[in-house]
Amino acid sequence: GENVEQHPSTLSVQEGDSAVIKCTYSDSASNYFPWYKQELGKRPQLIIDIRSNVGEKKDQRIAVTLNKTAKHFSLHITETQPEDSAVYFCAASPLGGYNKLIFGAGTRLAVHP
């Protein structure tokens, strides 16, 4: 079945710096890749997603890139702010899996003022 690896597990940056989180997936048929942000004690919330027919997508300070050949995708946050501090999870949805999401282990991002 699908397996998603996520790196790094923790990331500490200064306010205003960029943050990059990387994920790899194993099932080449996976075709939907969302990123979720989870603040302490809260529900995961979608921040951006990308489908396999697109290589890059951007939404203000957040961007996601997808390399289908290498089976990896990345989250880029520019001009980080303290409120970006949270745990970020990548996920992949295998084709034909009724859209179940297979999550990575998460990255704890700390943005220091």
Partner 1 sequence: EPEVTQTPSHQVTQMGQEVILRCVPISNHLYFYWYRQILGQKVEFLVSFYNNEISEKSEIFDDQFSVERPDGSNFTLKIRSTKLEDSAMYFCASSPRSLNEQFFGPGTRLTVL
Residues that bind partner 1 (CB under 8 A): 31-32, 34, 36, 42-46, 49, 51, 89, 91, 93, 97-106
Which residues, in sequence order, are bridge partners of residue 22?
Answer: 7, 74
Q: Would you say 35 or 111 has its CB closer to partner 1?
A: 35
Q: Would you say 49 or 78 has its CB closer to partner 1?
A: 49
Helix (H, G, I), strand (E, B) or coil at 82: helix
69 CB-contact burial (10 Å; exposed 0-12 / middle 13-18 / buried 19+)? exposed
- Smallest distance from partner 1 to CB 50, Å: 11
Q: Would you say 41 or 113 has its CB closer to partner 1?
A: 41
- Smallest distance from partner 1 to CB 17, Å: 26
Question: Taking phi first (over 0 means left), then psi (-120 to 50 degrees means alpha), and beta for anything else, what does residue 79 get?
Answer: left
- Smallest distance from partner 1 to CB 94, Å: 10
Q: Are 28 and 91 in contact (CB under 8 A)?
A: no
